Amino acid sequence: MSIKRIGIITSGGDCGGLNAVIKGVARKAYDMGIESVVIPNGYAGLYNLIDMDNVVILNAERVSKIEASLAGSEAGHSRVKISKIDDPNKYDRIKNGLKKFNIDGLIISGGDDTGSVVVDLSEQGIPCVHVPKTMDLDLQPYSVGGDSAINRIAIFTRDLKTTGMSHNRIIIMEVFGRYVGHTAFRGGVGAEADCILLPEVPVDFDIVYEHMKKTYFDRIDRSDVKAGTYVIVVAEGVSNASGEMLYDESAGIDAFGHKKLAGAGKYVRQQIEKRLKADPEVEAFMTRTGMFVPGIYAIPEAREVTPGHLVRSGHSSAYDVNFGHKAGAGAVILLTEGKVGNTVTGVEGKTVLYMATSEAIKRREVDIEELALFESLGICFGRKPVAFKPELREEHRAIDRAM
């Protein structure tokens, strides 16, 4: 396939590592004598390309102005699904826009919805390669943005312990992740959270309460200054034991048509407070630890914190900058080799790895077998702990298995 000019699109929710993807594409393209340009604002920009006067060419000077370690995307984002646009001529409009700017192929970085458009555009004869991106980590391969989100969740959660300890509060940290709990899980473990609630495990709040009571009461009882906190990380897509999702219905839907998830942290707090109020042992605990003040301070405080978009913002982890560069460069190689409709999954040595985008976007959930290991280390996942029954396997080569 003769590719002289590549259009770069980033789409869906922004996250860490995307600027490294853009630089990886631009620099590899430059190395191969190919020009790369930004198609701004995700698929909205692709649809409206025909009306634009110019596109930004990522020559060496322009690329050097992009800071790879900054999260977010120099190319901009939108949550627009081409198939949903009510215009019977939308694909011709897109093709004409690409023709206008002599763009021969697209490299598109995004998550499952974005990937489904890659499949759609490929079927329409538009050459595209997909770079996996989502802080949710719910694609089959690793996706840029995941490691940055995990690190930020871990930092925010860990930092909250100082205020939690000062006020003896139960801290509930609600984090993004949509319908999977990868980042809540890894970020929670990274911060040594006491309890981690994931969409993959319906939550039994009586079990959470009992774990909290034992851990938190013991901690304060044992402290010489009677200080302690208990930290819960809850993924936004969590459900209760009856299988009901705990989000606030009034949050609405986004442009991809997904329910906006919010409110799980508040729900968890209410469940904890309800049980604290009803528990006859709480007053004795408050009294023996010197906290009880009648009518003012009868039960420990529980507070939810929702960092929301902060988790996707700021700086990218070094891992994501590495992965982004490699995946961006790998995508250019795949595109020039005609491997369109595929997702680059990594570069190992000199091998560029890829899989069909239709496969790559299938949802990957947390492997709940692994939770039992962490339960044996003391973490509560809102269920009765399961015994960890290990199996052994000898490996014969080193694997870069960060996630």
| Active-site amino acid positions | 136
Binders of ligand F6P in range 101-120 (CB under 6 A): 111
Binding flag, residue 177, ligand F6P (CB under 6 A) = yes
Nearer to ligand F6P, 275 or 364 (CB): 364
- 199 and 368 in contact (C-beta within 8 Å)? no
- Each residue 54-83 as x (binds ligand F6P by CB under 6 A) or -, in order, gives -------------------------x----
Residue 100 to residue 2: CA distance in whole angstroms: 17
Tell me the residue number closest to ligand F6P, measured at CB: 176
Binding flag, residue 261, ligand F6P (CB under 6 A) = yes
State which of residues 176, 267, 319, 323 lies at the interface with ligand F6P (CB under 6 A): 176
Q: How far is the CB of 148 from ligand F6P (least distance, A)?
A: 12
Q: Which candidate, 175, 327, 391, places its Cα nearest to that of 262?
A: 175
With CB under 6 A as the rule, give the number of residues binding ligand F6P: 13
Residue 338 to residue 127: CA distance in whole angstroms: 8
State which of residues 95, 169, 178, 213 lies at the interface with ligand F6P (CB under 6 A): 178
Binding flag, residue 136, ligand F6P (CB under 6 A) = yes
Count of Cβ atoms closer than 10 Å to residue 121 Cβ: 25
Distances in whole angstroms, Cα of residue 320 to Cα of each of 16, 156, 279, 323, 361: 7, 19, 46, 5, 19
State which of residues 7, 13, 45, 382 lies at the interface with ligand F6P (CB under 6 A): 13
Residue 3 to residue 328: CA distance in whole angstroms: 16
Binding flag, residue 312, ligand F6P (CB under 6 A) = yes
Residue 128 to residue 103: CA distance in whole angstroms: 11
* Contact window for ligand F6P (CB under 6 A) among 24-32, 128-136, 190-198, 379-387: 128-136
- 105 and 331 in contact (C-beta within 8 Å)? no
Q: How far is the CB of 247 from ligand F6P (least distance, A)?
A: 10
Helix (H, G, I), strand (E, B) or coil at 91: helix
Binding flag, residue 254, ligand F6P (CB under 6 A) = yes
- 144 and 358 in contact (C-beta within 8 Å)? no
Q: Which residues are at the interface with ligand F6P (CB under 6 A)?
A: 13, 79, 111, 134-136, 176-178, 236, 254, 261, 312
